[in-house]
Homo-oligomer: A and B are copies of this chain.
Amino acid sequence: MREDQAAPPPADVELIGRRTPQRSTVLGALIGSAEFLSAQALHLRLLAAGEHVGLSTVYRTLTALAEAGRADVVRDPGGERLFRYRPSPQHRHYLLCRVCGTGLPVDSSLVGSWAAGISASSGFADVQHTVELTGTCPDCLREQ
């Protein structure tokens, strides 16, 4: 972790559903993080920053955000779900650092068209794809 803990409440970012202090807080923390965060990690951050938001609420908010396409979700090797705010509405893929969690967006148009081709030639309908790249980022590599 290397950025701010408690992001100020986002002024102009659209919330989902009702505007409540808790949702603003969760969304703010998510936006304030450049890394992928688990729901629990985000919850701990908020607690550490003195913000009292229930774990259930964190889960609910993150899940809703993901469903609305406002967050990217990824699964770490342990099966935990990691969230990251997505400013742009398009489908993205990331190269994720296994050590610090930093996510580097990568160009995946190639994978997209590959998946589309598979979809067409296989006869399968409604084909979705998930691509996850993991590695060790240069920073973390240096610190070993």
Taking beta carbons and an 8 Å cutoff, which residues of A are in contact with B? 75, 79, 81, 95, 97, 104, 106, 110-111, 114-115, 118-119, 122-138, 141
| B-chain residues with CB within 8 Å of residue A75 when the two chains form the complex | 75, 79
20 A-B pairs whose Cβ atoms sit less than 8 Å apart in the complex: A75-B75, A95-B124, A104-B124, A106-B118, A111-B131, A115-B133, A123-B138, A124-B136, A125-B136, A125-B138, A125-B141, A126-B136, A127-B133, A128-B133, A128-B135, A129-B133, A129-B134, A130-B130, A130-B131, A131-B132
Residue in B79, B97, B123 whose beta carbon sits within 8 Å of that of A137 in the complex = B123
- Would you give the shortest CB distance from A36 to chain B, in whole angstroms? 15
Whether A130 touches B128, Cβ cut-off 8 Å, given contacts A79-B75, A106-B122, A122-B95, is no
Residue in B81, B97, B128 whose beta carbon sits within 8 Å of that of A134 in the complex = B128
